[in-house]
Chain A
């Protein structure tokens, strides 16, 4: 027994490396299985799909694979450690500071950064601006993966993760967290249904159109009733994006007055719309680089213009709230909170709003990308961390900085998302076929 305990760290290292290898090989193999590669030439763009070359593809390019493998190994190891020695063993959390970056970044920021799915789906399918159609599937995939990672991060952070389903059964209508839980569970399902046609398209690729296979009829059904899920997605997103802000309405004595307001849910929702647009710009730009695709610059420019409008509304609402509550003088007192607030608003809202307004910026992909990244990093991630961490420090004292193990798990989660997006986008019809319309 003692020997087992002593050997535990070594066991964890070996196990986590195995998990990382299994994940990387497994996702590739799953995608490989999903793709019908037997007879087709159209679906198979290259010789990527030949099974014996699979291990070779994993070793090349070696450097990138090694980096990804180590990030995943470390992440898996810390998660294993957490489930053997407790949350306290890998975090700097305490009774006085019970929520850290696994909530502030993984959950609060993660949900916001996945908002592109409902924003773009609503633009293309509810407002029916159909020219945005090419952006819908990548946005839905980003959203779906984002929510899956939020759930994964949450399961690591929850003390009793096997009870995660409880809110769905034991309704507690006074709790914003109950509402967030129910909505995230439902919306993740909705996102999967919204993404299902993409999988079915690939599955059905070599079947005749008149086929009576269930996957074909399901595909046709989803195409017909898809709009119902888009509407549902908008309602569910509005509810839980805002309710992540409502969580903090319960702590009037703890959250710094620069952030504490009853209108937090409204601000969370508006900023989610803004970052939904910004994330779509970021994701499209990166995809066009990674997959050497053309960039839908006019569409992204239009999103940038819309983001400028939303950011201005956000800024005006936040300013009006600060003035109405009389909290604005705090902005001009030297403090950690004032500095954090100015950074969040200045670099995350004001500067990108101005950049998005300039036609010269919107015509240059890298400037558009930079402005969008500012919204993502400062406007959203920093804002959510300010509300959930920085804004509490005045009450708790400087008792929390994230442990490297906490950061490593968050980095591993983001890495998982990037790998999964890359593989799925490569092998499933996520992006419109650039040659299709000329054929």
Chain B
């Protein structure tokens, strides 16, 4: 039988059959390793989160756009320009009140206000993204940030489905990520978040997620003509701690539409859980193949020169072919 060259150069040192045998040896080892690795699983970031996590229910029908919450937030967190109402999330504002003008089919103009801030997801993408656990779920529930671990890589900004984390683009050496931390210190002191405490109309309510979801559904049930039958945050990206009810569909108010009900980290978890198998499989495949080829070549190769043989070993192909015959 004539050996088939694996590649079209002269002096090919390996037959195709040989090549396949070498790879095959490694594949067998890799499959064994995969079976072992299949048993290894990593924990989910959302583990241990209960419905008793602290939450806020925001009733957009009650919001008058007074900005008390946004100014209270600035004062509480010692943010710059404490007197001016912010117009977006930034390193100077953890929350802001957006104002939306809508046209009704009758031609009237409606004005609605929506307080926006970190949603404190139950399974947060930013937490799963952060390579150094600078962004993490505190034991009390809020998603918080510790600058001392932060690389400033901004993957949390990429990851967030609500585009919340803000970076300090003008700071050359010590920029931080800014976002709402649900006034964790106040919660620990038994107080409400500053924004909730400051709200004069009762548009913001603080409680556990379980309580507030029940209240939200009760509100909608008792005023079905007034409210849209949708609690924003109940299912979005796996559920959030900030919940909204509204008389206008959320998509018209600038909220992200069509968010999946599964949390984005569940997608990456599928990939990350495969890694032990990849490590063991690829390791076994490479090591197995290398062991096999080295044993074979040690059997009928002369030792090579210093550079590891720039010239191919002579007649390797024909030697192995003869052996097989």
Q: Identify the A interface with B (CB < 8 A).
A: 82-89, 93-96, 98-99, 122, 125-131, 133-134, 136, 157-161, 163-164, 166-167, 169-170, 172-181, 201, 227, 230-231, 234-235, 238-239, 242-243, 246-247, 249-254, 262, 265, 298-299, 301-302, 305-306, 359, 362, 429, 432-433, 436-437
Contacts and interface: CB of A to CB of B under 8 A. Distances in A.
A126 to B, nearest CB: 5
Nearest to A133: B308
Contact of A234 (B7, B153, B282): B282
Contact of B173 (A136, A160, A181): A160
B11 to A, nearest CB: 6
B282 A238 contact: yes
A4 to B, nearest CB: 15
B154 interface: yes
Contact of A239 (B8, B258, B278, B287): B278
A243 B274 CA distance: 11
A163 B12 contact: no
A175 B158 CA distance: 13
B319 to A, nearest CB: 13
B158 to A, nearest CB: 6
Interface in B207-247: none
Contact of A246 (B130, B150, B268): B268
A299 B9 CA distance: 6
B129 interface: yes
The 4 closest A-B pairs by CB, nearest first: A159-B152, A88-B169, A298-B9, A302-B7
Question: What is the predominant secondary structure among interface residues of chain A facing chain B?
Answer: helix
B159 A127 contact: no
B260 A305 contact: no
B175 interface: yes
Contact of A227 (B8, B167, B265, B294): B294
Contacts of A179: 272, 275
Contacts of A174: 42, 44-45, 127-128, 265, 268-269, 272
Interface residues of B, number: 85
A433 B133 CA distance: 50
Contact of B159 (A94, A164, A239, A250): A250
Given A158-B153, A235-B286, A250-B267, 5 more contacts: A96-B163, A133-B310, A175-B130, A227-B294, A302-B9
Contacts of B197: none
Given A131-B11, A166-B132, A172-B132, A94 B172 contact: no
A95 B171 contact: no
Nearest to A178: B131
Given A95-B167, A253-B260, A301-B9, A126 B286 contact: yes
A235 B290 CA distance: 13
B172 A251 contact: no
Contact of A250 (B22, B149, B268): B268
Contact of A98 (B151, B167, B268, B296): B167
Interface in B297-312: 297, 304, 306-312
A249 B175 CA distance: 27
A72 to B, nearest CB: 21
B271 A249 contact: yes
Contact of A130 (B9, B13, B158, B175): B13
A251 B271 contact: no
A432 B268 CA distance: 44
A163 B132 contact: yes
22 contacts: A83-B172, A88-B170, A95-B167, A126-B293, A127-B22, A127-B293, A130-B316, A131-B312, A160-B150, A163-B150, A174-B45, A174-B269, A175-B128, A175-B131, A230-B290, A246-B268, A247-B155, A250-B158, A250-B159, A252-B264, A301-B9, A302-B6
Given A85-B172, A87-B175, A130-B312, A159 B278 contact: no
Interface in B249-304: 256, 258-260, 264-265, 267-272, 275, 278-279, 282-283, 286-287, 289-290, 293-294, 296-297, 304
A179 B167 CA distance: 23
- Residue in A181, A227, A250 whose Cβ sees the most chain B Cβ within 10 Å: A250
B149 A166 contact: yes
B61 interface: no
A251 B132 contact: no
B129 to A, nearest CB: 6
Contacts of A250: 125, 128-129, 158-159, 264-265, 267-268
B127 to A, nearest CB: 8
Contact of A231 (B150, B283, B297, B307): B283
A242 B268 CA distance: 12
Nearest to A88: B169
